[in-house]
Amino acid sequence: MTPFAQALRELRRRRGVTQRDLAAAIGVSPAYLSALEHGRKGKPSFDLLQRIAGYFNIIWDEADELFMTAEASHPKAVLDTAGLPPRYTAFANRLAREIRALPSDVIEAMDKLLDQSPPKG
């Protein structure tokens, strides 16, 4: 499940809306919405995000949070290591191979390390 899927499910749960009802209201199939909520589809389009926000009539702050969550929710992330030292490419490939086996505390620790690292670029 992606962060967006979790957020959408929680939003539906809080509002008492079924997948089928939401799908019909925003113009997608229930199968597509289910796949989106299970992380089998990539991040939703901006248009679809706007339809979801409009359907739930959410305020700007909550809509922005939903949009940012969608941005961070592509289930098949791509890391471009072109031009970086070989160890960066090796690390990216190792992470891709081993990410499913990492315990959540390791993911949390890595996330905190990234938060502490100054952004480059």
Tell me: do 10 and 39 sit in the same domain. Answer: yes
The count of structural domains within the chain is 2
Overall pTM surpassing 0.75 (yes/no): no
In a domain, 14, yes or no: yes
**In the predicted model, is pLDDT for residue 121 greater than 70?**
no
CATH number of the domain where residue 35 is located: 1.10.260.40
Tell me: do 8 and 62 sit in the same domain. Answer: yes
Q: Please report which confidence band the pLDDT of residue 79 belongs to, taking 50, 70 and 90 as the band edges.
A: confident
In a domain, 28, yes or no: yes
Mark out the alpha helices in 40-85 (DSSP H runs). 46-56, 60-71
In a domain, 78, yes or no: no
Kindly list the distances between the CA atom of residue 23 and the CA atoms of 10, 44, 61, 113, 121, in Å, as whole numbers in the listed order: 15, 13, 23, 38, 40
Per-residue model confidence (pLDDT) at position 62: 87
Range of the domain at 98: 86-116
In a domain, 10, yes or no: yes
Tell me: do 53 and 28 sit in the same domain. Answer: yes
